[in-house]
Amino acid sequence: PGIVARVLPGAPAEVRVHHLAQRGVFVSAGAACQSHARELSPGLRAIGLDDETIRRVLRLSLGATTTAEAVDRAAQALLEVSCELERAAS
């Protein structure tokens, strides 16, 4: 119940992972079962996602100690990164 996976438009999730890490926000790309694999997740493929969509899946994990402040910081960082990547692509 504490994991959120979202398909985000634009840049691949792996790019966002690196930009967010630079801001102290640690997230993952793709499915947890494939976190150390080079190939795309068969689980995400099984739910009907194509390869391009799978590459844009960003996974956020929340735990019992995750505060509302931490969620707000992560959301703000994600918004900033998304805007930066969109401007860079234009």
DSSP 58-74: EEEE--TT--HHHHHHH
Angle at 57 between CA 14 and CA 25, to 5 degrees: 55
* Stretch among 9-13, 22-26, 31-35 having the lowest mean pLDDT: 31-35
Mean pLDDT of the region 63-90: 95
| Other Cβ atoms within 10 Å of 87 Cβ, number | 8
Phi, psi angle pair for 21, to nearest 5°: -60, -35
User: Where is 29: in which H helix or E strand?
Assistant: strand 28-29
Mean pLDDT of the region 47-51: 93
User: For residues 73, 22, 28 and 75, what is the CA-based torsion angle, rounded to 10 degrees?
Assistant: 20
Mean pLDDT of the region 42-64: 92
pLDDT greater than 70 at residue 36 = no
